[in-house]
């Protein structure tokens, strides 16, 4: 073959390869959900239009509402990964539930009985009387510095020794971070690998691939941290604690899949992934956190306290800095995910979430109200 022909062939192949890669990068991501019109799902299109306007005005990044596993409302980029912040705790709950179903988690075991010297170093005998269940309820009574604490958490933290184990609820990152450490110790699994293998892959998550890394910083450097472009990362604040915080980055699409798994009582396509009994156990209202709005904390979940006549499972949710939210509402057969791009400057405020929740429920109630009056 002549030299010029070889060069031409090489350039042609390179061009085709580049075009294919570009097409792959710009291809629409795979989506696991069917769509359903608001009318068929019993939602008010007019109220959902108000919801969309609110999301645009307040600069949310995405929102998804599922009705019986089908998308009834979507807005924004469903496939972009963000840090989910405190919703990480609810993902860990399911991993612990799987291990509990395998007999590896003893909720009544006291920290004093655990062979975890690095994590328990410096704890008093009294603090070591906390049980695993108390840790998951955020009632351990262990008030030590912890990675990924907000200023609000630090300001509200009781003094060390102020409460004994099991006596008092305080939203405690020492408990949450230790729960992740505990899971890895008793299961023999790396947390992010386990989530990918046991949950993400079986339910068909698309953007979460289980890629992880670690950050090791001094707490004074927290504001300068650059979030890694991975699916999860351990964050060590070496001057505070030997126990890292574990951060997940998920897309709205994948987080909604996880929510649907929980709405399905832990079952996916005939496979029981999370024990149904664990979901009930972890979403009991152990600590009332807001009596006015009937809110409580369970085990790594916020819970809406049921009324005495309720027969369906409890509604439960978790939020994250920004405000990210995952909500599971069995009575309405609904899952909601709301996201804010907190990996850059954002303007969404905590109080901006209230109209989101109100309009979401109003969209369903408006149709029900109209139907009942006919």
Token code pair at residue 122? 């410096």
Domains observed in the chain: 62-373 (3.40.710.10)
What distance lies between CA 250 and its chain's CA centroid?
8
Looking at residue 5, its pLDDT comes to 47
Q: State the DSSP code for 112.
A: G
Q: What is the pLDDT of residues 259-287, one digit of tens each?
A: 999 999 999 999 999 999 999 999 999 99
Residue 129: band (very low, low, confident or very high) from pLDDT cuts 50, 70, 90: very high
Q: In this structure, are strands 212-217 and 62-67 parallel, antiparallel, or unpaired? A: unpaired
pLDDT over 90 percentage in the chain: 84
**pLDDT, greater one: 253 or 26:** 253
Q: Which residue has the tokens 């979940």?
A: 301
Q: Using CA atoms, how far apart are residues 48 and 80, in angstroms rounded to an integer?
A: 22
**What rounded mean pLDDT belongs to the chain?**
91
Strand partners, 339: 62
What distance lies between CA 265 and its chain's CA centroid?
17
Looking at residue 139, its pLDDT comes to 99
Q: What is the pLDDT of residues 16-47, one digit of tens each?
A: 444 444 444 456 678 999 999 999 999 999 99
pLDDT at 372 over 50: no
Looking at residue 56, its pLDDT comes to 98
pLDDT at 10 over 60: no
pLDDT at 315 over 90: yes
Residue 1: band (very low, low, confident or very high) from pLDDT cuts 50, 70, 90: low
Give every strand in the sheet of 232-237, ordered side by side: 82-83, 245-250, 232-237, 212-217
Looking at residue 312, its pLDDT comes to 84
Looking at residue 374, its pLDDT comes to 39
- Work out the average pLDDT over 106-129: 97
pLDDT at 131 over 50: yes
- Work out the average pLDDT over 102-109: 98
- Are residues 292 and 281 in contact, defined by beta-carbon separation less than 8 angstroms? no
Q: pTM of the entire structure?
A: 0.90
Token code pair at residue 350? 């905590």
Q: Using CA atoms, how far apart are residues 273 and 264, in angstroms rounded to an integer?
A: 10
Q: In this structure, are strands 287-290 and 316-320 parallel, antiparallel, or unpaired? A: unpaired
Residue 8: band (very low, low, confident or very high) from pLDDT cuts 50, 70, 90: very low
- Work out the average pLDDT over 314-323: 96
Looking at residue 2, its pLDDT comes to 55
Q: What is the pLDDT of residues 210-228, one digit of tens each?
A: 999 999 988 777 777 889 9
pLDDT at 13 over 80: no
């Amino acid at each position: 073959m002549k030299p010029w022909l070889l060069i031409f062939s090489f350039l042609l192949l390179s061009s085709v390869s580049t075009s294919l890669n570009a097409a792959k990068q710009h291809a629409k991501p795979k989506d696991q959900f069917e769509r359903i019109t608001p009318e068929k799902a019993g939602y008010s299109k007019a109220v959902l239009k108000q919801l969309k306007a609110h999301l645009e005005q307040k600069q949310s990044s995405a929102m998804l509402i599922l009705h019986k596993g089908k998308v009834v409302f979507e807005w924004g980029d469903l496939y972009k990964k963000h840090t989910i912040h405190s919703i990480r705790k609810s993902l860990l709950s399911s991993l612990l539930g799987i291990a509990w179903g395998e007999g590896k988690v003893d909720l009544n075991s006291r920290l004093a009985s655990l062979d975890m010297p690095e994590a328990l170093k410096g704890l008093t005998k009294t603090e070591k009387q906390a049980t695993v269940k108390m840790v998951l309820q955020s009632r351990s009574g262990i008030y030590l510095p912890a990675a990924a604490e907000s200023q609000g958490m630090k300001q509200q933290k009781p003094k060390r020794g102020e409460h004994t184990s099991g006596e008092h609820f305080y939203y405690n990152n020492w408990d949450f971070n230790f729960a992740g450490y505990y899971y890895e110790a008793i299961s023999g699994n790396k947390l992010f690998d386990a989530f990918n293998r046991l949950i993400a892959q079986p339910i068909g998550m698309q953007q979460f691939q289980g890629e992880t890394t670690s950050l090791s910083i001094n707490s004074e450097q927290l504001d300068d941290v650059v979030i890694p472009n991975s699916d999860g990362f351990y964050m060590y604040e070496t001057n505070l604690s030997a126990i890292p915080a574990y951060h997940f980055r998920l897309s709205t699409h994948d987080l909604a899949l996880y929510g649907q798994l929980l709405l399905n009582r832990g079952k996916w396509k005939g496979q029981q992934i999370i024990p149904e009994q664990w979901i009930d156990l972890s979403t009991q209202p152990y600590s009332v956190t807001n009596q006015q709005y009937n809110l409580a904390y369970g085990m790594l979940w916020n819970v809406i306290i049921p009324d005495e006549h309720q027969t369906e499972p409890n509604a439960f949710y978790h939020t994250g800095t920004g405000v990210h939210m995952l909500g599971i509402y069995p009575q309405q057969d609904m899952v909601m995910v709301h996201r804010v791009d907190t990996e850059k400057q954002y303007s969404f405020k905590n109080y901006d979430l209230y109209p989101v929740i109100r309009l979401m429920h109003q969209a369903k109630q408006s149709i029900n109200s109209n139907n009942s009056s006919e």
